[in-house]
Amino acid sequence: MTPNDTQTIHELFGAGALPDAATVDRLHARLVEVAERDGLLDVCYRTMESPYGPLLLVATTKGLVRVAFDVEGHDAVLAHLATAISPRILKDQRRLDHAAAQLDAYFAGRRHEFELDLDLQLSHGFRRNVLMHLRDIEYGATASYAAIARAAGSPAAVRAVGSACATNPLPIVVPCHRVVRSDGSIGQYLGGPDTKRALLAMESAA
């Protein structure tokens, strides 16, 4: 291949430059539609803005399966889900509109409870049991790690409640931010202690 040949290629295929982003977006939307229709879309996701930074929302056909803060690294979360659930993952704004709208209303103080189908498949055993009990803590209220351990039937498992909260796949929606230390201090949070403090302040102000 001489430089002259390469030039000819560029002349020939100069018109074959890579398509622009709008074209790829249009085709992507069509792919999502067909994949959904043919039952090939195992996992879909979108991102949304929140007062606590961008959030990643992920759903399976069963329901919302993951909410992730920016600090967790959205790409890393999706890469993990490709192994943990299925690599058939596509960005799909529409299927998660409902969840995003409820979260928006929550951040605006207009919604106190989420009415969403949840898929808890990322949480197992005792941790999953803990998540079920977290859903009983009402908006604006808090509970101690020890109280949740008692409610979950294992009063001694206070630390395990802490790790269940720390690995909650659905923060905000499953309100692990409402679990605080028995001494009243705030404790750890996936989205950082400042976010936890802010969420609790917002809820108690409403």
Partner 1 sequence: MPAETIVRPFEEVVAEHGPVVLRVCRAMLDPIDADDAWSDTFVSALRAYPDLRRDSNIRGWLVTIAYRKALDQLRAKSRIPLPTAALPEIASPDDAVPDIDAQLRAALQALPAKQRGAVIYHYLADLPYAEVGALLETNEAAARRSAADGIANLRKHYTPGSQS
Q: Which positions are annotated as active-site residues?
A: 176
26 touches partner 1 (CB under 8 A):
yes
62 touches partner 1 (CB under 8 A):
no
185 touches partner 1 (CB under 8 A):
no
35 touches partner 1 (CB under 8 A):
yes
Name which of 31 and 146 has its Cβ closer to partner 1: 31
| 81 to 100: interface string for partner 1, x by CB under 8 A | xxx--xxxxxx---------
47 touches partner 1 (CB under 8 A):
no
Q: Is the dihedral of CA 133, 172, 197, 104 positive or negative?
A: negative
23 touches partner 1 (CB under 8 A):
yes
Please, what is the angle between helix 125-134 and helix 158-166, to 10°? 80
Three-class DSSP category at 89:
strand
State the minimum distance, in angstroms, from the CB of residue 67 to partner 1. 17
11 touches partner 1 (CB under 8 A):
yes
Cβ atoms within 10 Å of 86's Cβ, excluding its own: 13
Half-sphere exposure of 180 (CA within 13 A, CB side): 15
State the minimum distance, in angstroms, from the CB of residue 173 to partner 1. 22
Nearest to residue 121, comparing CAs of 43, 195, 24?
A: 43
17 touches partner 1 (CB under 8 A):
yes
Beta strands in the chain, from DSSP E residues, in sequence order:
43-48, 55-60, 64-69, 89-91, 143-144, 179-180
CA distance 48 to 30: 22
Q: Kindly list the residues in this chain that would bind partner 1 in the complex (CB under 8 A).
A: 1, 5, 8-9, 11-20, 22-24, 26-28, 30-31, 34-35, 38, 40, 43, 45, 78-79, 81-83, 86-91
